[in-house]
Amino acid sequence: MSGMNFLEKLLDEATVEWKTLGEVAKIYGGLTGKIKSDFDGGNAKYITYRNIFFNIDVNFNALESVKVSDSESQHEVKYGDVLFTGSSETADEAGMSSSVTTKLEGSVYLNSFSFGVRFNADTPLAPEFSKYLFRSHFMRSQISKTASGVTRFNISKERFKKIQIPIPCPDNPDRSLAIQAEIVRILDTFTALTAELTAELTDRKKQYNYYRDRLLTFEKGEVEWKTLGDISLKSYSGGTPTAGTSEYYDGGTIPWLRTQEVRFSDIEETEVKITPSALKKSAVKWIPENCVIIAISGATAGRSAINKIPLTTNQHCCCLEIDAEKVLYRYVFHWVSLNYENLKGLGQGARGDLNSGIIKGFKIPIPYAGDSQKSLAEQARIVAILDKFDTLTYSISEGLPREIALRQKQYEYYRDLLLSFPQINK
């Protein structure tokens, strides 16, 4: 039975009303008036931008601290709210959602780069259902159209209020919630199957990390510590040609990398291509192959990759051209990947942004630094071992990562079918 036939049977001629978000909900903002010191040892908890971006429902085991006094007027997050990131490097990734499916004890707040949606009491919309609804293709398509910008895309709250959401059986809350619960049950099953594979992959990554830690742990005196700037011939940033300008994108052949494509892997191609005109008239510049690329902004900050082709990037990438006479670029990549959490932890501001200064100041151990030939040989030995583990744990062309990617596509296909409500009164 197809997803659409199942949905038709589940609805059984029940009405589905499409309402604008402004008709059925209120929008509230995140924390206001905070300075950097307020996030050191705070007395209250808040939900981070990354927590929303990476989770369809909020992970309450990953809250962070902030100082909030009794005299402040701050919005508290409540059960049933849907939280959204307010901006991103691209319109496609702006307004990512995460539902509050846990009943809260105590006050929890929202980071300043996000906003919350609270549905009216008479709107029968279960939070467990909304977590899937707002991540579906047709809702993401609507949400991305509410974002605008050049180097960073911000959600327009006025446009956001006009997006339409389907509400099955709005006049019969019990039946509406029963329909939603059945859809949730099916999608939860898909999620659980994917989670099993992900858990297995996580175990494999733990094994990989164990051996990587051992290979990249040195005794005192075995290494000399250098900064990434010390071992780089040059560092590059990029730019974003004005979005929507056909001269810059239509028929483009020049690879242009965005930060969401920086995923601890080799980059053989990019999802977006730009034109020679974009290269000439914007801050975009060519980056030579085999650079170590580190994302510096937002949810992707600290992630790394290697470009196996010459390409261009947006301004949220820091690209290091490594001095091959001193260090192997793949050795640098493995070190930076190992230290992802440490590097990310150096981020500044509420979104945890990095910059080229932070990255170039990050230190790396160079074995046998006084003997170039011996040093490069030892680096090559370490790289050969780690590359094999890397393929097993991160390759999307084989093994568990490929299986998870296929399972995820299957889940997304059925999710979108199960949420394709008839739009008779839209």
Higher-confidence position of 345 and 193: 345
Q: Domain of residue 264: give its range.
A: 223-367
Number of structural domains in the chain: 2
Instruction: Give the model confidence (pLDDT) of 69-79 as tens digits.
Output: 989 999 999 99
On average, the pLDDT of the chain sits at: 90
**Domain termination residue (choose one: 322, 344, 367):** 367
Residues 234 and 363 in one domain: yes
Residues 62 and 158 in one domain: yes
Please check whether residue 422 lies inside any domain of the structure. no
Residues 60 and 150 in one domain: yes
pLDDT score for 293: 98
Phi-psi region of 95 (alpha: psi -120 to 50; beta: other; left: phi over 0): left
Please check whether residue 211 lies inside any domain of the structure. no
pLDDT score for 397: 56
pLDDT score for 369: 85
Please check whether residue 300 lies inside any domain of the structure. yes
* Residue 63 pLDDT > 60: yes
Question: What are the two backbone dihedrals, phi and then psi, of residue 184, each rounded to the nearest 5 degrees?
Answer: -60, -40
Please check whether residue 216 lies inside any domain of the structure. no
Residues 227 and 157 in one domain: no
* Residue 425 pLDDT > 50: no
Higher-confidence position of 140 and 193: 140
What's the pTM value of the predicted model, to 2 decimals?
Answer: 0.61
> 355 pLDDT band (50/70/90 cuts)?
very high
pLDDT score for 7: 66
pLDDT score for 394: 65
Residues 139 and 253 in one domain: no
Closest CA to 321 of 360, 264, 354: 360
Residues 256 and 157 in one domain: no
> 95 pLDDT band (50/70/90 cuts)?
very high
CATH (domain of 30):
3.90.220.20
* Residue 21 pLDDT > 90: yes
**Domain termination residue (choose one: 367, 398, 415):** 367
- The mean pLDDT value for 119-136 works out to 95
| Cα distances (Å, whole numbers) of residue 310 to 112, 117, 255, 285, 286 | 37, 43, 8, 10, 7
- The mean pLDDT value for 317-329 works out to 97
Residues 234 and 354 in one domain: yes
Residues 160 and 243 in one domain: no
pLDDT score for 330: 97
- The mean pLDDT value for 107-116 works out to 96
Please check whether residue 129 lies inside any domain of the structure. yes
Instruction: Give the model confidence (pLDDT) of 154-164 as tens digits.
Output: 999 999 999 99
* Residue 203 pLDDT > 60: yes
pLDDT score for 424: 47
% of residues, the chain, pLDDT over 70: 95
212-216, 284-288, 324-328, range with the lowest pLDDT: 212-216
> 223 pLDDT band (50/70/90 cuts)?
very high
pLDDT score for 13: 67
Residues 23 and 96 in one domain: yes
* Residue 405 pLDDT > 90: no
Q: What is the SS3 assignment for the chain?
A: CCHHHHHHHHHCCCCEEEEEHHHHEEEEECCCCCCHHHHCCCCEEEECHHHHHHCCECCCCCCEEECCCCCCCCCCCCCCCEEEECEECCHHHCCCEEECCCCCCCCEEECCCEEEEEECCCCCCCHHHHHHHCCCHHHHHHHHCCEEECCCEEECHHHHCCCEEEEECCCCHHHHHHHHHHHHHHHHHHHHHHHHHHHHHHHHHHHHHHHHHHHCCCCCCCEEEEECCCCEEEEECCCCCCCCCHHHHCCCCEEEECHHHCCCCEECCCCEEECHHHHHHCCCCCECCCCEEEECCHHHCCCEEEECCCEEECCCEEEEEECCCCCCHHHHHHHHHHCHHHHHCCCECCCCECCHHHHHCCEEEEECCCCHHHHHHHHHHHHHHHHHHHHHHHCCCCHHHHHHHHHHHHHHHHHHHHCCCCCCCC
Higher-confidence position of 6 and 258: 258
Please check whether residue 203 lies inside any domain of the structure. no
Residues 228 and 312 in one domain: yes
